[in-house]
Structure 1
Amino acid sequence: MDSGRSILSTRTYETLKTILFFYVLLKQSVKAQRHLRARGIITTVREFYTWIAQHVIMLALRLPAAQRKVKTEMDKAKLDIEAQLVPKGIDVTRHLALPTDGQTPEWIIAEMDKMDAELGKPNSWKLGKLSGAVYHGGEDMERVIVAAYGKYCVSNPLHPDVFPAIRKMEAEIVAMTLKLFNGDHGAGTMTSGGTESIIMSVKTHRDWARAVKGVTEPEIIVPSSAHAAFDKGAAYLKIKVHSIPVDPYTRKVDLKAVKRAINGNTIMLVGSTVNFPDGNQDDIKGLGKLAAKYNVGLHVDCCLGSFIVPYLEKAGLSEGVNGKYKLYPFDFRVPGVTAISCDTHKYGFAPKGTSVIMYRDAELRRHQYYVNPDWSGGVYASPSLSGSRPGALIAGTWAVMQYMGSNGYLESCRQIVTCARTIADRIVSSIPELYILGSPPASVVAFGSKHPKVNVLEVGDKMSQRGWHLNGLTGPAAVHIACTRLTVDKVDMFIEDLKDAVKEAKMQPTGKGSMVAVYGLGNSSAVGPAMVGQLATAFLDTMYKA
């Protein structure tokens, strides 16, 4: 009897082991099949090759001679970074501990002036030689913002009963922004910027898919041109990302590849209006059809499009010129769109640190909230990532939106977009070595090189020597300028400097500038991105070196 039970127990155990083995095998096979379907055979093989190459090179770099060489080069690069960011010399005043007694307001202002003098060029941005970075609405608007700051500098929307006006202003900012994007029946919240807006949307769609569809291994599908904040959010929230290539000519995401990547774990698709790298727009209507068909979310990233793209139609610029620069439908009027992010601190001219994340309805927004009813400190609930938030930023944003008004934003859109399109047209007509990426409808223009002897990153470095702060891109190598109000009267200067930079890059290339060093290194070998990552880490470390 005991022998029979033992045999039965053994058989049961072996059967369970077999079932578990085949379950794990089936699960991993499904994952592999989905990955292969999303990436395609060629991309999968390329990724596998890159992975092998990286590991082989990393093993080689462990050799003492290679380690010494890499360390020498990295140390030199780190010193170069420090030389650019950290002031040197015994004459530099450093505040590394609290003063024994508090300083006077007059001393504080004087010390700030002294820092500006020591570090140099505190107002160089006013020259307008910038790509984005400073979205300046003018000195009159600065005074409006400062007045709002002063009135609400200690306010905190975490306590709406203490600061009811801040609560009201935030709700009105969200409502006004929703109306701009035709989301009259939608819902939203403010955040600290585009990155938080995007991360909140990723979190919201993850929790929605888990609650409604039972998805426990979420995946999102993003164009390769989408903002890195989607990858950042996915890394934080442990979500798999499928990066889909864009058409090399139109710069729009490949819809067929997006469709192949959709599976039972997909929670969200992503499209941009406009994207950061080259300022082009994805096919939002096409993405919306896929999102609706497969019952997944669709986030439209309008952080950079901001208060430009909603006004293109009113400004008479949405149809473009001669087939170029056309803007296609992108907002909540497009079926399938479930979320839109918009940075008020860009072309809304609000103070830095403000953005709005919008949803098609309030039910979806509830999945963004964090609620803890069992905390010993009482019920804790917050709408977004932050708990306490600076109410002064909300007040500043509300004040700016009231100050600008719809007509102010309309005129701003008209000036900035005309500026960007003029730059694009003049590059095409007068600088034959360069070409424009896609057909950017808004404020961003990216240019690459079509001349074998002109490295566009070298051109970017030559522009830096002329005082321009532009953005270097990779995939393909390019340089972009995000036009702002500061750029509007700098078009002639930009084009003339760009012509000279192209000539110089063609005749006297050095290959030693920042863009060539960083972006060129990233594409130079399988280990390039790892080296760039180390440089980026060193840069971040240096940011906190006093």
Structure 2
Amino acid sequence: MSSASTSLLDHLRGRNGTLEGIKNILLAYTVYKYGKYALAYIRVKGVQGAIVALFKQLLQISITIARRFVPGANAAVASQIEKNVTSLQKKLMGDVPDHLKQHALPLKGLPASAVVTELKRLKATEHVDWKAGKISGAVYHGGEDVNKLVTEAFGMFTVANPLHPELFPGVRQMEAEVVSMLLRMYNAPDSACGSMTSGGTESLLMAIKTYRDMARELRGVTEPELIAPVTVHTAVDKGAAYFGIKLIHIPVDPATGQVNMAKVANAINGNTVMIVGSAPNYPHGIVDPIPELSALAVKYKIPLHVDACLGGFIVPFAEKAGFPLPFHVDFRVEGVTSISADTHKYGFAPKGSSVIMYRSKEIRNYQYFITTEWPGGVYCSPTIAGSRPGALVAGCWAAMMHFGESGYVETTRQILTAARSIADGIKSIEQLQVIGQPKLSVVAFNSKSPKVKIYAVADILDKRGWHLNVLQNPPAIHIACTYLNVRASKVLLTDLKEAIAMLLKDPSCGNGDVAAIYGTMASVPDRTVISDVCRGFLDALTMM
């Protein structure tokens, strides 16, 4: 063999050796990366939970492939989706008697009296008598007197915009006072601060954005992770999706309904930017063990956010109302760095107001958006919105000033008394059970009898004028007790007992929309189908 051939073979062997080395490195990195992910997942979910999750994922992949490649499969699924969407659209798009739908601006403006007439027609379409107290949450009505006061405040500040504090100093002052009052309610230190937002979702979004940016700047975290109970409000899921954060859902203890602390500890790593606990959570009304979460947060130097959006004006007054929580959930807990609390629920402020509170201004600084190079000038805003309705600030301030501490203590006493009465009444019904150990205004329950399907119970209650919240995973119903429910709590228990008796006698009597929709959803393994139905529902909201 010539020296040239030998040299070429040596060169190829060397290059192949290098390529083989690179291939081995890439393989090792891939095994390390996904092995690390798998181990972390097993630490949080457990071996059995991880296997179940893997099975569900493989099933979803198989169904997706089948829909794409099996002849007629996708068309059949699409047909069923369209059927469900059409049903939802018909339910939402009922005609308003004598109202002419407006597809375009009227060529000539209508007189004010004509506009008011149309407004009255549209209002008359409300098919739920919420004043009867048969709805769960949704309408947090503090009485006609506060309603009139808030309406008057709205009228006085209709054009006000907090984006321009130099033009509307009164609105700026009211906003500062609302934040200050909330901070005192939650026993904040003098260093604490906060911002008003448009609601609980924005408050949570702001906290998530804040801690993502803080971890990126102070710790160099580029693959942020957020730890929260599976029962946390879904606005946390939304925030994680919006801001590119990996959400680690932690299961809850089946007996207490509280987040599993051992699995929270297992989920913490160098990418964890925040931990979230609920006070209480939306599905079951359970308060997570905030002091225990705080201990972990302090140990690992991780921010802890308490989502008290639902409990905003219940938590601070529960003790004085005679219903003390077994532990603190506010800034008296060392590791708590932020709290979100809605003013537009049990604070009886107009819809569209909430407060996000931070332990220090240094933390809140990461919430802000500031740009100094825009040709339109230097621009900064504290939250997502630019322009905001000053009327909402005024309405919130007016409601809080009108009720005062004594007023909120009294409404809390009445609401929690009703919630306890409902929970005790449900416990006395042999076929039902209360989920966890609710301490505040939300009571969730499901069936412990194979003869009683909980969604069928919901359908019977619906026919009797009740509009409660239907839950899943597990199937259940809950009521978020409001001031309106106080006088209707006994009626609910009577209707529940009668619904159970009806189902025991004739199980088919509860076959209605709730049982059909949620029963179908529970049996559909392809969750993309449910997502498609949801998209159809959202599309229907703006259809004529």
| SS of match in other structure, 1:268 | strand
Cα deviation digits, residues 449-482 of structure 1 (max 9, x gap) = 1111001111011111111110111122110001
SS of 2:90's partner is helix
- Tell me whether 1:280 sits opposite 2:308 in the alignment: no
Q: Displacement of 1:123 after TM fit?
A: 6.4
Aligned with 1:104 (options 96, 111, 122): 111
Residue deviations 1:242-292 (CA, integer Å, cap 9, x gap): 111111111001000110111111111111111100111111110000011
SS at match of 2:514: helix
Q: Is the deviation greater in 71-80 or in 149-158?
A: 71-80
Q: Which residue of 2 aligns with 1:198?
A: 204
Q: How much has 1:7 moved relative to structure 2?
A: 11
Corresponding position: 1:246 with 2:252: yes
Aligned equivalents of 1:9, 1:376: Cα separation in 2: 55
Conservation of the 8 A alpha-carbon contact between 1:341 and 1:355: yes
2:258/2:286 contact within 8 Å kept: yes
Which residue does 1:359 correspond to in 2? 358
1:268 aligned to which of 259, 271, 274: 274
Aligned counterpart, 1:80: 87
Tell me how far apart the structure 2 counterparts of residues 469 and 90 of structure 1 sit (CA, whole Å).
24
Contact map agreement 2:343 2:349 (CA 8 A) in 1: yes
The CA distance in 2 between the partners of 1:336 and 1:432, in whole Å, is: 42
Question: Residue 215 of structure 1 aligns with which residue?
Answer: 221
Q: Distance in 2 between matches of 1:238 and 1:66?
A: 34
2:466 is matched with 468
Distance 1:293 1:17 in 2: 40
The whole-number CA distance in structure 2 between the counterparts of 1:335 and 1:196 is: 25
Provide the secondary structure at the position in 1 that maps to 2:507: coil
The alpha carbon displacement at 1:348 in A equals: 0.4
Check if 1:94 corresponds to 2:101.
yes
Pairs within 5 Å for 1:109-188? 109-117=116-124, 120-121=125-126, 124-185=129-190, 186-188=192-194
Contact 2:227 2:276 survives alignment (8 Å): yes
- DSSP 3-state at the match of 2:355: strand
* Contact kept? 1:34, 1:263, Cα under 8 Å: no
Q: Distance in 2 between matches of 1:447 and 1:81?
A: 26
Q: Which of residues 48, 55, 69 in structure 2 aligns to 1:49?
A: 55
Larger CA deviation: 530-539 vs 516-525? 516-525
Displacement of 1:115: 2.3
Cα separation, 2, equivalents of 1:146 and 1:361: 34
Checking the alignment, whether the CA contact within 8 Å between 2:140 and 2:483 is kept in structure 1 is: yes
In structure 2, the residue matched to 1:432 is 430
* Distance in 1 (alpha carbons) for counterparts of 2:170 and 2:110: 33
Alpha-carbon distance in structure 2 between the residues aligned to 1:263 and 1:427? 42
Question: 2:520 — aligned with what?
Answer: 521
What is the aligned partner in structure 2 of residue 496 from structure 1? Answer: 494
Residue 38 of structure 1 contacts residue 262 of structure 1 at CA under 8 Å; is this kept in 2? no
Letter in 1 for 2:475: A
Counterpart amino acid of residue 334 in structure 2: P
- The SS at the match of 1:313 is coil
Distance 1:7 1:386 in 2: 62
Instruction: Give the equivalent residue in structure 2 for 1:545.
Output: 543
Q: Is 1:302–2:308 an aligned residue pair?
A: yes
CA distance in 1, matches of 2:194, 2:321: 26
* CA deviations over 1:221-256 (Å, ceiling 9, x no partner): 111111111111001111111111111111001000
SS in 2 for 1:67: helix
Equivalent in the alignment of 2:389: 390
Paired with 1:202 and 1:215, the residues of 2 have a C-alpha distance of 14
User: How far is the alpha carbon of 1:68 from its aligned partner?
Assistant: 3.9
Distance in 2 (alpha carbons) for counterparts of 1:499 and 1:19: 66
Distance 1:64 1:19 in 2: 42
Q: Match of 1:415, SS?
A: helix
Determine helix, strand or coil for the equivalent of 1:486: helix
CA offset digits 1:404-444 (Å, max 9, x no partner): 10000000100000011011111222x21111111211111
How far apart in 2 are the matches of 1:374 and 1:34? 43
**How far 1:9 moved relative to its partner?**
9.9
Q: Give me the TM-score of the superposition, normalised by structure 1.
A: 0.93
Tell me, in whole angstroms, the C-alpha distance in 2 between the residues paired with 1:379 and 1:13: 53
**Conserved 8 A contact 1:220-1:266:** yes
Superimposed CA distance per residue, residues 14-64 of structure 1 (whole angstroms, 9 cap, x where no aligned partner): 877766665555444433332332332222211111011112223333434
1:71 Cα offset (Å): 3.1
Partners of 1:486 and 1:91 lie apart in 2 by: 32
C-alpha distance in structure 2 between counterparts of 1:91 and 1:397, whole Å: 36
**Aligned-partner residue type, residue 207 of structure 1:** D
Structure 1 residue 377: Cα displacement? 1.2
Q: Residues 503 and 103 of structure 1: is their aligned pair in 2 closer, same or farther, counting only changes over 3 Å?
A: same
1:449 aligned residue: 447
Q: What stretches of structure 1 move > 6 A for 4+ residues in a row? A: 3-18
Structure 1: how far apart are the matches of 2:23 and 2:63?
39
Does the aligned pair in 1 maintain the 2:426–2:493 contact within 8 Å?
Answer: yes
Asked whether the 8 Å contact 2:313–2:408 carries over to 1, the reply is yes
Residues 96 and 121 in structure 2, CA contact (< 8 A), matched pair in contact too: no
Stretches of structure 1 lacking an aligned partner (at least 5 in a row): 319-325
Shift of 1:391: 0.8
C-alpha separation in 2, matches of 1:327 and 1:519: 35
The Cα RMSD (Å) is 2.4
* Aligned CA distance change for structure 1 residues 298 and 414 (closer, same or farther; 3 Å): same
How does the TM-score come out when normalised to structure 2?
0.93
Structure 2: which amino acid aligns with 1:461? D
| Residue 525 of structure 1: how far off its partner (Å) | 4.0
Deviation at residue 515 of structure 1 after TM alignment: 2.7
CA distance change for structure 1 residues 46 and 94 in 2, over 3 Å: closer, same or farther? same
Distance in 2 between the 1:137 and 1:159 partners? 31
C-alpha change, 1:502 and 1:211, in structure 2 (3 Å) is same
What is the distance in 1 between the residues matched to 2:461 and 2:199?
29
Distance 1:73 1:395, change over 3 A: same
What CA distance in whole angstroms lies between the structure 2 residues aligned with 1:138 and 1:77? 38
Judged with a 3 Å threshold, the aligned counterparts in structure 2 of structure 1 residues 19 and 469 are, in CA distance, closer, same or farther, namely: same
Instruction: Tell me the distance in 2 between the aligned counterparts of 1:116 and 1:312.
Output: 36
Tell me if structure 2 keeps the 8 A contact 1:116–1:122.
no
> What is the letter of the counterpart of residue 393 of structure 1?
L
Secondary structure of the corresponding residue to residue 75 of structure 1: helix
SS of residue paired to 1:243:
strand
In the aligned structure 2, how far is the partner of 1:58 from the partner of 1:366?
44
The sequence identity of aligned pairs, in percent, is: 46
CA contact (8 A) 1:246 1:253 kept: yes
